[in-house]
Amino acid sequence: MRTAHVIFTVGWLGAVAGFLALAIVGLTDSDTQTVRAVYIAMESITRFVIVPLSLVPLLITGPILSLGTPWGLFRHYWILVKLIINILSTLILMVHLQPISYLSHVAAEGMLSSADRRVQIQLVVASGAGLLALLIATALAVYKPRGMTPYGWRKQYEGHIVPHNRDTES
C-alpha cells in the first residue's frame, strides 16, 4: 500500500509539473498551432491523468495507509496538514476543470483570442500554486515533523497510564 501511495502521489506531483509547463507554453508561445495543441492536450492530461492521480491517494491509499500504520489519520499534525492540502488541491482542481475545458474547446475551434488571456494566466497561477502545495505535502511526508494532536496524545497514552494508588506509597 505504501508503494502504491508513493507512486500515485509522486505521479500527481509530476503530472501537475507537466501541466504547469504546458500552461506556461500556452501563455507565452507565439506559434498558434503549438498553443492550440497545448490547450487540447491539457484537457486530456487533466481528465485522464491528474484527476485520477489526485483521487486515489486522497480516497484510497492515504486513508488505508494511515489507518494501517502507527501514524494514524488524526494523530499527527503533519498528516492533518497533508490531508487538508490534498483535499484543497483536489477541490481547486475540480473547480479548474471548467476553464481547462473552455480553453481546450476554444483552441480546438481555432478561436483562441487575447480575450482568453485572463483564463490562460489563471491556469498558470493555479497550477503553480498546486505544484507548490504538493511539494509541501511531499516534504511533510518525508520529514514527518513532530507534533501530535490531542487525539494522538490520548491514543498514544491510552492503556499506558498506571492508575495512582495511595495504598502503595510510603
Q: Tell me what pLDDT residue 116 has.
A: 95
**DSSP run (H or E) holding 64:** helix 62-67
Sequence-separated (6 or more) residues with CB below 8 Å from residue 114: none
CA dist list (Å): 123 to 99, 119, 158:
8, 6, 48
Q: Please give the backbone phi and psi of residue 169, each rounded to the nearest 5 degrees, phi first.
A: -80, 150
Instruction: Give the number of C-alpha atoms closer than 13 A to the C-alpha of residue 91, restricted to the C-beta side.
Output: 6
pTM above 0.75, yes or no: yes
CB atoms within 10 A of CB 85: 19
For 85, the grid coordinates are 492540502
Q: Tell me what pLDDT residue 159 has.
A: 56
Q: Tell me what pLDDT residue 162 has.
A: 46
Low-confidence ranges of the chain (pLDDT < 50): 162-163, 165-170
The domain ranges of the chain are 2-160
Residue range 81-115, pLDDT digits in tens: 999 999 999 999 999 999 999 999 999 999 999 89
